[in-house]
């Protein structure tokens, strides 16, 4: 897990990158929670998701948004963070030009940025949204959502109630063949604190990635 510095839109972006030797390894970019509420790339959910993808043979990148840790710049309430994410994805695609699939993953605030990036980058094949703050941010730009993905939250989340995530899943318009899966993790709060909730989150995400990758690769081989 070597430290990596990416040249971002307003200076360096502090990052951690796992490079898989296979030149066709799939990519996963993971975006952390809200910078002004303690969110960093070392958040425990981000950290465990990172290794969930590493274990599946992905090349994986997580980084600190501008103004967090050793990343330069200042919090920009969305537009700047989206630019940071786009730059990080560009870096990954240059490092792995022959990758067979591309995923975007977000945690809380990071999901709002991740889904905006999804709408702008058609090469993203799928996504994971953990605790998407559907009650706090406007996700109506998903019109329609261009890729299948997983929405997952805890049933004891007092920041983002399950009902708001379910409503986001049900109200989001999708293209033909696009499916949004919604998993609810028992006994889990917004931060999935505790060994059992974190393990259940990893199981949910890992299972979804395993199943979805089969479909992605099949669809690409049929093209």
Report DSSP letters for 30-77, one per residue: EE-S-GGGT--TT-HHHHHHHHHHHTTT-EEEEEPPTTSTT--S---S
How far CA 71 is from CA of 9, 50, 65, 84, 203, in Å, comes to: 11, 19, 7, 10, 31
Task: Read off the CATH number of the domain in which 123 is found.
Answer: 3.40.50.1820
Output phi, psi for 44, to 5 deg: -60, -35
**Boundaries of domain holding 216:** 3-222
What's residue 1's pLDDT?
A: 58
Q: What ranges in the chain are assigned the alpha helix state H?
A: 44-54, 79-95, 109-120, 162-171, 195-222
Give the 3-state secondary structure of residue 144.
coil
Could you report the average pLDDT of every consecutive run of 10 residues in the chain (223 residues)? 89 97 97 97 98 98 98 98 98 97 98 98 98 96 95 96 94 91 97 97 98 94 74
**Per-residue confidence (pLDDT) for residue 120, from 0 to 100:** 97
Using alpha carbons only, what angle is made at residue 80 by residues 76 and 84, rounded to the nearest 5 degrees?
Answer: 135
pLDDT (0 to 100) of residue 3: 85
What pairs with residue 128 in β-bridges?
105, 150
Please give the Cα distance from 11 to 166 (Å, whole number): 38
Instruction: Report how far residue 171's alpha carbon sits from residue 166's, in angstroms, rounded to the nearest whole number.
Output: 9
How many domains, the chain?
1
The pLDDT of residue 45: 98
pLDDT reported for residue 223: 64
């Amino acid at each position: 897990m070597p430290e990596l510095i990416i040249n971002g839109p307003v200076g360096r972006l502090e990052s951690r990158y796992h490079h898989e030797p296979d030149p066709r390894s799939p990519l996963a970019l993971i975006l952390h929670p809200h910078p002004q509420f303690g969110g960093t790339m070392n958040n425990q959910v981000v950290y465990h998701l990172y290794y969930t993808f590493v274990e599946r043979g992905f090349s994986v990148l997580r980084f600190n948004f501008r103004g967090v840790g050793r990343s330069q710049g200042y919090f920009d309430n969305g537009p700047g963070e989206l630019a940071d994410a786009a730059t990080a994805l560009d870096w990954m695609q240059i490092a792995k030009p022959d990758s067979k699939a591309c995923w975007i993953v977000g945690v809380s605030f990071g999901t709002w940025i991740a889904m905006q990036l999804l709408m702008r980058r058609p090469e993203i094949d799928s996504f994971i949204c953990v605790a998407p703050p559907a009650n706090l941010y406007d996700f109506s730009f998903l019109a329609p959502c261009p890729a299948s993905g997983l929405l997952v939250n805890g049933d004891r989340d007092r920041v983002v109630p399950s009902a708001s995530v379910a409503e986001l899943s049900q109200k989001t318009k999708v293209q033909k063949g696009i499916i949004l899966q919604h998993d609810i993790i028992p006994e889990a709060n917004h931060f999935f604190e505790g060994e059992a909730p974190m393990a259940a989150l990893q199981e949910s995400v890992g299972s979804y990635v395993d199943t979805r990758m089969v479909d992605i690769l099949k669809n690409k081989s049929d093209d």
